[in-house]
Amino acid sequence: MIKITLDYRDDVIESFNVEGHAGSGPYGQDIYCAGVSAITQTALLGLAKHISLQMDYVIREGYISCKLPAALSDAEREKAQVILSTMEAGLLAMQEAYSDYLRVVIRRP
């Protein structure tokens, strides 16, 4: 199962982690892993391209992690949240349809 954790602070997503494999098909042919990877990596690309953020992130097999920088302007934070909340919506929709393969955990302080 893929576990996606979204960490909120002050009602904004400040980091996310994705770990595991769906196990629904052979390596390289698992559509659930591919879908989660596409959604999360597109969010990373959006943050880098449209906001030019220098983020702490890691991508390796079965794992993606991203943490936004603490010092963001209000405009940067707002743009980042549009991208990250869109990512969240896509992941929650996947979870609703394919809960045997992925789980989204939302952590709020």
List the catalytic residues: 21, 33
What are the φ and ψ backbone dihedral angles of 55, each rounded to 5 degrees?
Answer: -100, 160
The string of DSSP codes covering 34-73 is: HHHHHHHHHHHHHHHHHH----EEEEETTEEEEE--S---
Buried b (16+ CB within 10 A) or exposed e, 68-82: beeebeeebeebbbe
Which of 17, 51, 30, 48 shows the shortest CA–CA distance to 98? 30
